[in-house]
Structure 1
Amino acid sequence: MTGVDENPVSGEAGRFRGHACGRWAVVDPLPPGKHTVEVRGRGPSFEVDVDYVLTVVGL
């Protein structure tokens, strides 16, 4: 992996070894308006709890 100065993973610029895992989702296009995406999860040594507020504008 490569990081920039003060990145939240290594704190330093340059290459470093790391490990990552993730989950992905695909949703259909949202209609115009305000939407909240809630992400919740937990593993053996971590927990995630975040809300994203999105505003979709029409063209």
Structure 2
Amino acid sequence: MWFFAGTFGGSAQRTCQVPAGRPLAGPAVNLHSNNTSSCKAFMTGVKGSVTLDGQLVELRRIDPVEITFVAARDNVMGLSAGKLATQACGLWAWIPPLKPGEHELRVEGESGDFSTSVVYRLEVPAD
């Protein structure tokens, strides 16, 4: 699995190499929170889209669910290092492995006053 990501707000452009044969997954927009009510409020007005080479990708709605993960020391989110439990929600895309060559992945999402937009230029090498 190769994961793509949005931003902490705003827009970005990224160029990445994706290993051949790997499916892709990532959020159009997502949230993790200490409580279910924040996720429910976030999901009330959520909108998003993911396009691959100009074609819309189906999004799956992930309503609040408890997840546990291990946060690395000095992580970009400023979380305490170690095992953490949180509520997660969002609109996610799952994409089958890409054919070798160049691809464009556009990821956009919003909820309330939060918005994110990323354009990925992806290169998949031949096997």
TM norm structure 1: 0.67
Identity %: 34
Q: Which has the higher contact order (CA 8 A, sep 6+)?
A: 2
Amino acid at match of 1:24: W
Larger radius of gyration: 1
- Structure 1 stretches of 5 or more lacking a match? none
Whichever structure has more helix as a proportion of its residues is 2
- Structure 2 stretches of 5 or more lacking a match? 1-68
Correspondence 1:31 to 2:94: no
Amino acid at match of 1:38: R
TM norm structure 2: 0.38
How much has 1:52 moved relative to structure 2?
1.6
Whichever structure has more strand as a proportion of its residues is 2
Supply the RMSD in Å over aligned alpha carbons: 2.2
Say how many residue pairs are matched: 59
Correspondence 1:5 to 2:78: no
